[in-house]
Amino acid sequence: MAANLQIPVADRRAPVIAPGHTFTSVTDKITNIVLTRPISVAWVLGFLVVFSMLNMLMVALGYLFFKGVGIWGINIPIGWGFAIVNFVWWIGIGHAGTLISAILALLRQSWRNSINRFAEAMTLFAVACAGTFPLAHMGRPWLFYWMFPYPNTMNYWPNFRSPLVWDVFAVSTYFTISLVFWFTGLIPDFGTLRDRAQHPWVQKIYGILAMGWRGSARHWHRYETAYILLAGLSTPLVLSVHTVVSFDFAIGIVPGWHTTIFPPYFVAGAIYSGFAMVLCLAIPIRAVYGLKDFITERHLEISAKVMLGTGLIVAYGYGMEAFMGWYSGNQFDSFLMWNRLHGPYAFWYHALLICNIGLPQLLWIKKFRVSTGLLWIWSFIVLVGMWLERFIIVVVSLARDFQNSSWGMYYPTKWDWMTFIGTIGLFLTAMWLFCRLLPMISIFELRQLLPEAHTHEPVEVAK
């Protein structure tokens, strides 16, 4: 039996699942991480680190709610500081998760089955981090519900012509649908955990979450329809979210924001940073939890290629911005380019070009795509580069707009940094818990990748 378990793949490529696995072995390997693996000292120490980062966020937000946004470095002319930079950065990171789970499902890219679960979790946590920033930036976050259209005694309604209102709908829909998609994918695996758990309370908790899932053929049939329709709905959704985020800028008249290239350029940048985050997480997770059989070199290499491809689209975006700065003949647009290259933030613009365009070109070399250490460093470089991109877009454009009497500089305060690093803590704390509480790889989809799962048409019974 073991002999025919080999997945047929082209010769030079690593398989999407290591040979020799059976339904039981994949189930064991993934559920044991949740159910039987003891909690290690390293896990606890790591958790303490990320949890204290999360507490730093709580302190920063608590003080913010007490004092107001004046504790941040924002002021006129730069009213959109770290809050918006980090919002766009985090929400972009989320995009890779939905791309992997939805778009690749529609394209029948079965290799996605081993990374979609934790990529979707990454999406949820990243969107949660992203959502923190506009809420905190509001000044009076306890009145956040004023953004939604609801009948109120003030007789007031939102202005639906404003991209900021579109953003509310785009981001809240994105979070909700990502959660629905993630939960739908988890239902059958909750069933597996329920049936394998030993402790009665653990059985009860997973049993409640599994909602009585019993793997009926009728249920699977409806389930698959629902899943593929969710993928179909999420595909335009993920493309729309960063498009709408880019409208926040593109509909304004500030030089460097008011361009039609923003939507595709933002979406490509989002996927670029998202895949960087996938690699940043997948490389340590597969090593620590012994999942190299399921997250193989093939996954890492494909992710690196997606990074390279979307990075080139982003590079095209930069090129077009520079070209339009010259070709438009608009003095403010051409000044913006000069200001980026030679102005007070020139160092960071050059750093951005090196991180996002220069260094990632080394991914053309196979050694960089298959060496986990190098790839991990490179994904980190891309994450830094994409953060700098959002910083340049938000801050440099606002710092020097039309009137030089209204120019200014932006200096983030310690509270800005604490909030930013704190959301990294929120993200990592959630990931830390996710790894031990939920199956981080979709078990039933992994079973489908095994050759034994494939069936042929039943033979007609002879009359």
Partner 1 sequence: MSPASFDAPGITSTYGLMAEFDSAQELVDAAHKTHQAGYQKLDAYSPFPVEGLAEAIGFRKNRVALVVLIGGILGGLSGYMLQYWVAAITYPTNIGGRPFHSWPSFIIVTFEMTVLFGGLSALFGMLALNGLPMPYHPVFNVPEFKKVTENKFFLVVFSSDPQYNPAATRTFLESLSPRMVAEVPS
Binding site for partner 1 (CB under 8 A): 22-24, 27, 149, 155-162, 165-166, 169-170, 173, 176-177, 180-181, 183-184, 188, 191-192, 194-196, 211-226, 229-230, 233-234, 236-237, 240, 244, 247, 444-445, 447-448, 452-459, 461
Q: At what angle do helices 297-327 and 331-342 cross, to 10 degrees?
A: 130
Q: Which is nearer to partner 1, 170 or 426 (CB)?
A: 170
Token pair of 123, please?
Answer: 């999406």
Q: Which is nearer to partner 1, 87 or 368 (CB)?
A: 87
Helix residue spans in 68-141 (DSSP H): 82-98, 104-106, 116-137
Q: Least separation, in Å, of the C-beta of 344 and partner 1?
A: 33
CA angle 139, 398, 321 (to 5 degrees): 130
Q: Least separation, in Å, of the C-beta of 459 and partner 1?
A: 7
Residue whose structure tokens are 């394998």: 196
Q: Which residues of 55-80 are buried (b: 16+ CB within 10 A; e: fewer)?
A: ebbeebbeebeeeebebbbbeebbeb
The identity of residue 462, as a single letter, is: A
Q: Least separation, in Å, of the C-beta of 179 and partner 1?
A: 10
Q: Least separation, in Å, of the C-beta of 428 and partner 1?
A: 28
Which residues, at least 6 apart from 279, have a Cβ–Cβ distance to it below 8 Å?
300, 303, 304, 307, 375, 376, 378, 379
One-letter-per-residue 3-state SS of 285-305: HHHHCCCCCCCCHHHHHHHHH
Q: Least separation, in Å, of the C-beta of 263 and partner 1?
A: 11
Q: Which is nearer to partner 1, 19 or 408 (CB)?
A: 19
Q: Which is nearer to partner 1, 98 or 397 (CB)?
A: 98
Q: Least separation, in Å, of the C-beta of 394 and partner 1?
A: 22
Helix H or strand E segment including 296: none
Q: Which is nearer to partner 1, 173 or 330 (CB)?
A: 173
Sign of the CA dihedral running 156, 160, 165, 169: positive
Q: Which is nearer to partner 1, 222 or 292 (CB)?
A: 222
CA distance linking residue 389 with residue 383, whole number of Å: 10
Q: Which is nearer to partner 1, 103 or 428 (CB)?
A: 103
Q: Which is nearer to partner 1, 237 or 280 (CB)?
A: 237
Q: Least separation, in Å, of the C-beta of 433 and partner 1?
A: 23
Spatial contact of 383 and 86, defined as CB atoms under 8 Å apart: no
Q: Least separation, in Å, of the C-beta of 26 and partner 1?
A: 9
Distances (CA, A) of 89 to 23, 61, 159, 283, 452: 39, 19, 26, 21, 42
